[in-house]
Amino acid sequence: MNTNYTHDWTWVNGVVLQGQQPVVHADDQGFTLGMSLFETIAVVNGKPVNPDAHLLRLLAGMQKIGIRPPAEQLDPAQILMDLFEKEPGLHGALRMTVTPGRASRGLLAEPFGEPAIIGRFQELAPQPLHAVELHISAIRKNPDSPGSYLKTTHYLDHILAFREAKEHGADDALLLTTDGRVSCSTTSNVIIWDGHRLIQPDSFAGALPGTTLALLQSLLPAKRKIAAAPLTRLDLDVAKGVYLINSLRGIQPVNAIGDRKYYSELNGVYSEMTKVLRSYVIAECGEHIGEGVYPWLGES
């Protein structure tokens, strides 16, 4: 997604601070140990898209790694309202980051402060809708790592894979597991269309459980429900379509993986998927959705 500019206000545990003010302590475990989680929520017409799913994943992750839940219920819409009182916004992304808070040294040190909950809104620039080319990265996902299934801020492998893809002239990297199965891209879940059914990697493929993928699954008619199965490079070779899906890019067709070409956007199933998501966002956020910021929400 192209960045327009970041609003110069940050929501920290219910208080809105100017961007120049520090918001994380040097002894915060999110900084010292990388124990932090985040969610990126699409904002359309000033409203968060699918916020409950993001909150459920965030709270489940906090429980998993031992971050105390906040005393008051988190509400992305309220965070946006608080930020927009300082600087109004329209279409963009709300990032929520949570850390355990301050603690002494040691892997098992108990935090002595409150968890840090940080909200930041960023406007996004209009962009064209285009199919993407993927490069299969040499970096592998570990399906046995608990971190593979949590939305942590530990993104080094994905950053390096993305750089590798750019060096090969691709738009993004496709990550395989250590045993060679399809996992995900650097920021998105992967779906394939085999000509008969939609398939996603199964729950043992080291991919983050995607909120938009789950939303799409709930919206599709029975004949289009997405199956889960182990996917290999052979499945990619014979696929009729490949798609990336996340909260900001929606559903993005893939036109090539290495030398293998696809015509993913020409399949009727692509139109079906985008239409059901578009209808959902209109119902939640109103018409004039995205104004080019989210081109996948435009009329098909």
For residue 58, the one-letter residue type is: L
Q: Quick check: 171 pLDDT over 80?
A: yes
Q: Contact, 257 vs 243, CB < 8 A? A: no
Q: What is the mean pLDDT of residues 121-138?
A: 90
pLDDT tens digits along 239-251 = 999 999 999 989 9
Q: What does the pLDDT read at residue 125?
A: 83
User: What is the architecture, at CATH level 2, of domain 3-124?
Assistant: 2-Layer Sandwich (3.30)
Chain centroid to CA 45: how far?
19
Residue scoring higher pLDDT (220 or 1): 220
What is the domain partition of the chain in residue ranges? 3-124, 132-297
Question: What is the mean predicted confidence (pLDDT) over 111-117?
Answer: 90
The answer, yes or no, to whether residue 85 has pLDDT greater than 90, is yes
- What's the pLDDT band for 1 if we cut at 50, 70, 90? low
Task: Give me the mean pLDDT over the 218-229 stretch.
Answer: 96
- Interval 147-169: pLDDT, tens: 999 999 999 999 999 999 999 99
Please state which of the four CATH numbers 3.20.10.10, 3.30.2310.20, 3.30.450.20, 1.10.287.3510 is assigned to the domain occupying 132-297: 3.20.10.10
Q: Among 191-195, 196-200, 292-296, where is mean pLDDT lowest?
A: 292-296
Look at 205-209, 258-262, 271-275, 289-293 and tell me which has the smallest mean pLDDT: 289-293
- Whole-number pLDDT of residue 291: 66
Model confidence band, residue 232 (pLDDT cutoffs 50, 70, 90): very high
The stretch 213-239 carries a mean pLDDT of 97
Residue of higher predicted confidence among 172 and 109:
172
Residue 294 has pLDDT above 70, yes or no: yes
Q: Looking at residue 295, what is its pLDDT?
A: 78
Across residues 263-285, what is the average pLDDT? 92
| pLDDT, the chain, mean | 93
Asked if the model's pLDDT at residue 300 lies above 60, the reply is no
Query: How distant, in Å, are the alpha carbons of 131, 143, 150, 188 from that of 173?
Result: 14, 17, 19, 10
Provide mean pLDDT across the span 35-42.
Answer: 96
Q: Does residue 73 contact residue 15 with C-beta atoms inside 8 Å?
A: no
**Closest among 116, 99, 91, 122 to 9, alpha carbons compared:** 122
pLDDT, residue 3, reads 60
In this chain, the answer to whether the domains covering 3-124 and 132-297 adopt an identical fold is no
pLDDT tier at 292 (50, 70, 90 boundaries)?
confident
| Model pTM score | 0.93
Q: Is the pLDDT of residue 59 over 90?
A: yes
